[in-house]
Structure 1
Amino acid sequence: MSRKSSRHIVIVGAGAAGLMAARELARAGTRVTILEARERCGGRIHPLPALQFGYAADGGAEFVHGEAPVTRGLVREAKLSLEAIEGRQWMFDGQTLSREDRHDPHEAELHAVLRELKNDMTVADFLHLHFAGDEYERLRHAIGRMVQGYDAADPERASVLALRDEWMDGGHSPQARIAGGYGTLVDYLTAECRKHGAAIRFGSVVSAIEETGGVASVRCRNGDVHACAKVVLTVPLPLLPEISLPQAVRDKAAAAADIGFGNVIKILLRFERPWWRDRKEGLGDLTFLLSNETIPVWWTQRPSERPVLTGWFGGPRTAELSGLDPRALIGAGLDSLAAIFGLARHDIARDLVAGVATNWAQDPFARGAYSWATPRTRDAQAILSRADGAVLFSGEALYRGRDMGTVEAALASGLETAQMILRG
């Protein structure tokens, strides 16, 4: 191995995991090159132009979930701040808007069964085994809605043990936003990487990784070849089959089939004014709004009074809208709002200033939103996290903590991977 390549680490992907790993490696004196397919950093963190929405809206990841120690530490380090989510959750049952009653008469029974559960199984099997009766219909519906909408997961495959903590606190762990959006954190990490000498190559779509004589070579579609000692793959799981890998690495990557990966459709609508606050129901405290409409979940920017509503549709059922382009998705969002609020669509559309819709499954460098655990995921993560060979895997899908699939998960995984390389 040449001296030049022996000190060189190539990181594939400039999302949260890749940037975090690169920053740690570069400031330890390691030569680092980040290869990013897009023309920007951030990956599934996607800040939208401030002129479009009146602020740096998040077209991708938006919330800081739970304790998130790595994220919060970076926020402090970057001298940024967090805004706690305020307000109440409402629901629309097809006829009436009301504040959601989160209490279920069978909640204590659910928690008791979960506490005693020793063997993992899918969510669907768990509900069939323990809560199959008609009296549990509301509980099953609430759990199914949370698994598909919040976790973007398939109840037929999702691990009940991985979701147990989420259910035990009602699925409402503390949430906040970064003031200025996640893009500010990406900008900080990007500047840190460059300050410590890491190179970032945009438009670098990796097509193959080879290993010969102890030297790894990363080939890009544009013809560039980067020799290095190690490669850190941080791309979303659905992209792994698109990269030619050495056979041993390909065998290792096969474990990713045991990790779920879900999709999200996200729609941001900016209006001339926050018209929903004028409703007779008294929606001044509205944060989240749940329904069974085509775009079922909506939220405001509270505590900010910005006239923006964000629509969210997650899980396997997003495939039903796979044929819709962004304009049609915005139309589906307006139809859903019209049904929820009992208004004519054209009345809502008349106040629309800007709209952006993203079906993350159609993004060529994401192919979906984020990962979730199956009963076999922990074993798969252990395989993918091994430090053997020249090719390492990192990213939110490999995080073994509670909030898998989050930005925190990506940052923590990138940090862990960098530390593993530095120890080696």
Structure 2
Amino acid sequence: MTTSLFARLARRVDPQGYRVSRREVLRGSAALAAGLLLSGPLSGVARGASLLSGRSGGKGKRVIVVGAGLAGLSAAYELISVGYDVTVIEARGRIGGRTLTYRDFCPGKVVEAGGEFIGSNHPAWQAYAKKFGLTMRPVAESEDLSSPIVIDGRELSNADAERLYEEMERTLRTMNTQALMTNAVEPWKTARANELDRVTLAQWLDSQEMSDLGRRMLRVSLEADNGQALERSSQLAMLAVVKGGGVENYWKHSEDFRCAEGNQTLSTKLAEAIGPQRLITGVSVARIDVSTDKPFVITKAGQRMEADDVVLAAPPSTWELISFGPPEVRTAVLSARPQMGTSFKVMASVPTAVWAAEKKSGDVLSDGPINLTWDATAGQAGGGAVLTGFSGGPNTSALMGAPAGQRMSAGLSALSMLHPGLTKEKVAARFLAWPDDAWARAGYSFPAPGQLTSPGAKALLAGLGPRENDARLHFAGEHVCYGFVGYMEGALQSGMEIAQRLAVRDGVVGV
């Protein structure tokens, strides 16, 4: 997901209060991390001097993980830490999934083409960053530079922006009150879950007392963040995400940082700890079969690999490329697929940050073909800068509907409408849309109305197997972590949760 309108307004209207609350949220995340990790000192589980020392805690059980994004790698890393024999299979020739760090686009700078922002309220990311020595770089806060909100081509005044912030704060307070009573892990256990799951966010927004401007900008912001039209978005799903992110902290602190070394570096660190002998790249899986107590995977090249459990950590949009057995499991898997959204980034690399010369931070929110822009290299030393433009949900159609060869130029044109100084610079550009990626085929998930109370949502969390209550096929990814759908945090937590569940089932750790 992206930097939200409310967070931007909070930094603009009350920068000091924003900084103080960010520090408080970080302290809370450090405490939460203790319950997430099987590995390392933060878990409280006794272990030897070497994390991956090959000890026999996993009782010789073998696990195959399909997908080497953050979810698959975190599951593998945590399982290996308590003695499981794990093999990770990745279809791409690289690791990282929908995180992708460019190091060659703007010399000396790291630029995120995929998942970008990390929250103070993201304990898994924060814990792994500490474990692997990665640095959190705060999102730049430039009180002297403007962050325009543009609607119908007109920039809102500071007074209008402050009124918009106050109106949104009042409106979101009603959602926060409901979120407090929501079960973010198993949303279907929330009181009135069936009713809430069938209410769309469009219906919820229509029921709020707001100005036309407030209603319009909240729609733009939510659709961009969630990658879906409000008419196709469940209110229960939104409540679960708000609860998972810490209610009020969700709106203010879900995108406070970037990883200074690049987000893909976390995948590299996890992979190095897992070990190259356990990681297979450039190989796709053709079949997953859990008909018996010894599930097996068959690669596209025909290699058969057996295990005690299989973790499917590939995006749901790719599941149709895999054959599942037995037939009832295939039916269950395909019917459980959550709704996936659409998003893109257009990135412009320039010799100087021309937006700064215009007294702008790079942050713009708009109802045009590009919803959000930001300085992707803010806080990084050296010359050169990159401006990123992002859109999600139905607003992507303006550029995604263009022929593939014209999207980049159309994206640059749209960026230049928001940042006219770009037209005076020598610009190198890249356009990345995850729906065009063969092994992603979508942006990120956000549940449709009715999905969270369906049998499929429960199956994704509990897993599937040859018998009831005997799951051998497990699911990991942001789409399974209902409190953090769409975030890298959701991917990491889902992998950790799988490891915890298997370790408890097998008596490796206590409940």
Task: Indicate the TM-score class for this superposition, using the shorter chain for normalisation.
Answer: 0.7 to 0.9
Could you say which residue in structure 1 is the equivalent of 2:365? 290
Could you say which residue in structure 1 is the equivalent of 2:308? 229
**Deviation digits for residues 222-244 of structure 1, max 9, x if unmatched?**
22221222111011111112211
Q: Percent identity?
A: 26
Distance 2:176 2:409 in 1: 41
The 1:373–1:97 alpha-carbon spacing in structure 2 relative to 1, beyond 3 Å, is same
Mapped pair 1:95 → 2:164:
no
Distance 2:479 2:280 in 1: 24
Distance 1:116 1:181 in 2: 36
Would you say the 8 A contact 1:265–1:360 is kept in 2? yes
Q: Which of 359, 374, 387 lines up with 1:309 in the alignment?
A: 387
Could you say which residue in structure 2 is the equivalent of 1:18? 72
**How does 1:88-167 map onto structure 2 within 5 Å?**
89-93=147-151, 94-96=153-155, 100-101=161-162, 102-105=164-167, 107-108=169-170, 111-112=173-174, 115=177, 119-120=195-196, 121-131=199-209, 136-164=211-239, 165=242
**How does 1:24-423 map onto structure 2 within 5 Å?**
24-50=78-104, 52-87=106-141, 89-93=147-151, 94-96=153-155, 100-101=161-162, 102-105=164-167, 107-108=169-170, 111-112=173-174, 115=177, 119-120=195-196, 121-131=199-209, 136-164=211-239, 165=242, 171-174=251-254, 175-194=256-275, 199-246=278-325, 247-257=327-337, 259-279=338-358, 282-283=359-360, 286-300=361-375, 301-304=377-380, 306-324=384-402, 328-342=406-420, 347-348=423-424, 350-352=425-427, 354-379=428-453, 380-387=456-463, 388-401=470-483, 403-423=484-504
Distance 1:211 1:115 in 2: 42
Would you say the 8 A contact 2:148–2:155 is kept in 1? no
* Matching residue's letter, 2:414: S
Distance 2:178 2:340 in 1: 28
Distance 2:316 2:84 in 1: 26
* Matching residue's letter, 2:215: R
Query: 1:161 deviation in Å?
Result: 3.6
**Deviation digits for residues 336-355 of structure 1, max 9, x if unmatched?**
13322446x7x34x421x32
Query: 1:324 deviation in Å?
Result: 4.0
SS of equivalent to 1:177: strand
Distance 1:116 1:24 in 2: 34
**Deviation digits for residues 1-44 of structure 1, max 9, x if unmatched?**
xxxx9732111000001001111112222211111000000000
SS of equivalent to 1:374: coil
Query: 1:113 deviation in Å?
Result: 6.8
- Single out whichever of 34-43 and 414-423 deviates more from structure 2: 414-423
Distance 1:233 1:393 in 2: 5
Distance 1:51 1:338 in 2: 19
The 1:141–1:198 alpha-carbon spacing in structure 2 relative to 1, beyond 3 Å, is farther
The 1:417–1:170 alpha-carbon spacing in structure 2 relative to 1, beyond 3 Å, is closer
Would you say the 8 A contact 1:399–1:409 is kept in 2? yes
Could you say which structure has the higher strand fraction?
A: 1
* Matching residue's letter, 1:423: V
TM-score after normalising by structure 1: 0.87
- Single out whichever of 329-338 and 143-152 deviates more from structure 2: 329-338
SS of equivalent to 1:248: helix
Would you say the 8 A contact 1:26–1:198 is kept in 2? no
Query: 1:214 deviation in Å?
Result: 2.4
SS of equivalent to 1:372: coil
The 1:374–1:295 alpha-carbon spacing in structure 2 relative to 1, beyond 3 Å, is same
* Matching residue's letter, 1:396: E
Distance 2:357 2:503 in 1: 57
Query: 1:130 deviation in Å?
Result: 3.9
RMSD: 2.6
Task: Report how many residues are paired.
Answer: 405
Distance 1:74 1:187 in 2: 12
The 1:351–1:420 alpha-carbon spacing in structure 2 relative to 1, beyond 3 Å, is same
* Matching residue's letter, 1:11: V
The 1:105–1:200 alpha-carbon spacing in structure 2 relative to 1, beyond 3 Å, is closer
Distance 1:74 1:114 in 2: 29
SS of equivalent to 2:440: coil
Distance 1:75 1:243 in 2: 33
Structure 1 alignment gaps of length 5 or more: none
SS of equivalent to 1:311: strand
Query: 1:66 deviation in Å?
Result: 4.0
Query: 1:333 deviation in Å?
Result: 2.3
Distance 1:136 1:115 in 2: 21
TM-score after normalising by structure 2: 0.73
Would you say the 8 A contact 1:329–1:357 is kept in 2? yes
Would you say the 8 A contact 1:262–1:316 is kept in 2? no
- Single out whichever of 215-224 and 302-311 deviates more from structure 2: 302-311
